[in-house]
Amino acid sequence: MTAIARPKNLWLGRWGFVLAATGSSVGLGNIWKFPYMTGEYGGGAFVMVYLVCIAAIGVPVMMTEIALGRRGRGSPVDAIRRVVRESGRSGLWSGLGWMAMLCGFMILSFYVVVAGWAVSYLWKSLSGGLAADSVEGMAAIFGANNANPWNLGFWSTLVTVATMAIVGLGVQAGIERSVRWMMPGLVVMLVVMIVYAVFSGSFGAGVQFLFAFDPGKLTGQAILAAMGHAFFTLSLASGAILTYGAYLPADRSIGRTTLVVALCDTLVALMAGLAIFPVIFANGMDPASGPGLIFMSLPLAFQQMPLGGVIETIFFLMLTVAALTSAISMIEATVAWLNESHGLSRARAAWGVGVLLWIVSTLAMLSFNVGADWKLAGRHFFDWLDFLTSRFLMPLGGLGTALLAGFVLRRESLEEELGLPSALYALWRFTVRYVCPVAIVMVFLDALGVLNAGFDWRWLALVLVLAVSVEALLARLARRA
Ligand code: PHE
């Protein structure tokens, strides 16, 4: 059987999808969010759970999203609708696509603010505005940058405009071309910074912090945060990967592609950690300083290293580009949907969504200045956008995707699309049927305090053993029948 719809857009180059998907997943999540979350949740234990979640949940869900996108050839709503129809199931599952679009929009609304920080630091670095000789001095610069809504609003607006312009240009011209040179450049910058960190004195402390596994630090909230971040960093459940998958040529291997993207993403996050924590410890800074962590610590390191000024500028340039290649992917689903299902041109769709985005992101931006006191249950609007997407929408979307692939669709549908050797296919299927749903539900329950005594992995083992037995039994019965 062939794919059920003809693709309109396809990636041009052999590496088009890999570049774009890596561009989407490698972003502020790796360089800004991963280090500060690791700092907040106490280091190695968080990192460990994060890595397990990437491997056990992130990779299979990413494969599923790419397969769904490629089989349905369209925006998440349309693609999922086509794929469930093909299996004779309810079109209501396309609700997952709606949720993904909402999630991508919400993420982008706070993401442009952080990307605005990156661009403003690029500017500061060019204009000599990042000079301070202590962590406190850097913190003051960060604070002053946030305090003026006109200043911060200017930078986030700039990012919004750039994002919409690229998305409006389209898949090949806009997205594919801009990611081609970014990844290698970013990696080179990180290597330079790690080399500096090795010689700066506190490299050991940084490594120790990142990799020392202390299970005592694992609270339910930390596990949920790590799982949510695994979704975030791989751009899952937000329409990005699924929509990019819709442009993937039929002859590419989904499994291999996924592994490359997930590996690159993980490597960049770990490299960012290795570049950042030694600086933090060398300067007596608190790793739990929150979202400003990299903006307060790195400029200090740049100042001390030879050629630091140049490296600083290149670094913030790369960070800006990494943020942009992620930003465009968050809104691609919505733009593709407006374009395919409502006949709007891509440019119109992008600018229309852009106006809405600008309003919501401006509200998020105000969390750092005039709206500093506008809090609901202790969180700013900015924090709420982050919290709701990473801790609820994405894990829920991942759960829905796993259930859809594992139990709802006809088996042949994704089996054909994935084209895996049979042992690997069995592993994937088992993972989406049991590992992902069980793990996600248990992490939720644990975070809600339902499982009380912290997360007990024996429960997971028990449920999995039961599931395997039932699966084996059912398979045997089916063979008899
Ligand atoms: N993965 C991106 C990052 O790490 C963020 C992202 C989330 C991109 C969701 C697209 C969709 O920065």
Residue 329 CA, closest ligand 1 atom number: 10
| Cα 91 to ligand 1 centroid, rounded to whole Å | 27
pLDDT at 210: 95
Question: What is the Cα gyration radius of the chain?
Answer: 22
Residue 265 CA, closest ligand 1 atom number: 4
Q: Which of these, 6, 1, 82, lies nearest to 412 by C-alpha position? A: 1
pLDDT at 3: 43
pLDDT at 463: 77
Is the Cβ–Cβ distance between 81 and 92 less than 8 Å?
Answer: no
| Cα 240 to ligand 1 centroid, rounded to whole Å | 8
User: What pLDDT digit, counting tens, does each position of 7-61 carry?
Assistant: 567 776 777 888 889 999 999 999 999 999 999 998 999 999 999 999 999 999 9
pLDDT at 172: 67
What lies within 8 Å, CB to CB, of 382 at 6+ separation is 110, 113, 364, 365, 367, 368
Res 109 pLDDT > 70: yes
CA dist 6 and 72 (Å) reads: 9
Three-class SS of 128-154:
CCCCCCCHHHHHHHHHHHHHCHHHHHH
Is the Cβ–Cβ distance between 369 and 148 less than 8 Å?
Answer: yes
CA dist 25 and 290 (Å) reads: 21
Res 4 pLDDT > 60: no
How far is CA 275 from each of CA 35, 46, 271, 421, 441, rounded to the nearest angstrom?
10, 18, 6, 39, 34
CA dist 330 and 101 (Å) reads: 8
* 3 φ/ψ sector (left φ>0, alpha ψ -120 to 50, else beta): beta
DSSP for 252-283, please give it.
S-HHHHHHHHHHHHHHHHHHHHHHHHHHHHHT
State what percent of residues in the chain have pLDDT above 70: 94
Res 273 pLDDT > 90: yes
Q: What is the pLDDT averaged over residues 456-470?
A: 76
Question: Whose Cα sits closest to atom 10 in ligand 1?
Answer: 235
Could you give the 3-state DSSP secondary structure of residue 385? helix
| Cα 25 to ligand 1 centroid, rounded to whole Å | 5
With a Cβ cut-off of 6 Å, ligand 1 is lined by 24-25, 27-30, 104, 107, 232-233, 235, 238, 240, 326, 329-330
Q: What is the pLDDT averaged over residues 402-412?
A: 96
Mutate which of 22, 24, 163, 330 for ligand 1? The one with the most ligand atoms within 8 Å of its CB, which is 24
Beta bridge partners of 376: 379
| Cα 264 to ligand 1 centroid, rounded to whole Å | 14
Report which DSSP code applies to 409: S
Question: Tokens 């994935």 label which residue?
Answer: 418
The amino acid sitting at 11 is W
User: What pLDDT digit, counting tens, does each position of 324-380 carry?
Assistant: 999 999 999 999 999 999 999 999 999 999 999 999 999 999 999 998 899 888 899
Weakest-pLDDT range from 94-108, 185-199, 261-275, 354-368: 185-199
pLDDT at 455: 54
Query: Which residue stretches of 404-456 are H helix?
Result: 411-418, 422-430, 436-447
User: What pLDDT digit, counting tens, does each position of 288-331 carry?
Assistant: 988 999 999 889 888 888 888 888 998 898 899 899 999 999 99
User: What pLDDT digit, counting tens, does each position of 419-457 carry?
Assistant: 999 999 999 999 999 999 998 998 888 777 766 555 566
Beta bridge partners of 379: 376
Is the Cβ–Cβ distance between 394 and 238 less than 8 Å?
Answer: yes
| Cα 425 to ligand 1 centroid, rounded to whole Å | 27
Q: Which of these, 96, 51, 63, lies nearest to 78 by C-alpha position? A: 96
Banded pLDDT at 1 (limits 50, 70, 90)? very low
Residue 271 in tokens: 């490299």
Q: What angle do CA 425, 103, 347 make, to 5 degrees?
A: 105
User: What pLDDT digit, counting tens, does each position of 184-199 carry?
Assistant: 888 888 898 899 889 8
Q: What is the pLDDT averaged over residues 52-71?
A: 97
Q: How high is the mean pLDDT of the chain?
A: 90
DSSP for 213-259, please give it.
--GGG--HHHHHHHHHHHHHHTTTTSSHHHHHHHTS-TTS-HHHHHH
CA dist 344 and 457 (Å) reads: 49
User: What pLDDT digit, counting tens, does each position of 124-180 carry?
Assistant: 999 988 999 888 999 999 999 999 999 999 999 999 999 999 888 876 666 667 677
User: What pLDDT digit, counting tens, does each position of 198-250 carry?
Assistant: 987 789 999 999 999 888 888 888 999 999 999 999 999 999 999 999 999 99
Res 467 pLDDT > 50: yes
pLDDT at 34: 97
Element (H, E) at 340: helix 308-342
Banded pLDDT at 480 (limits 50, 70, 90)? confident
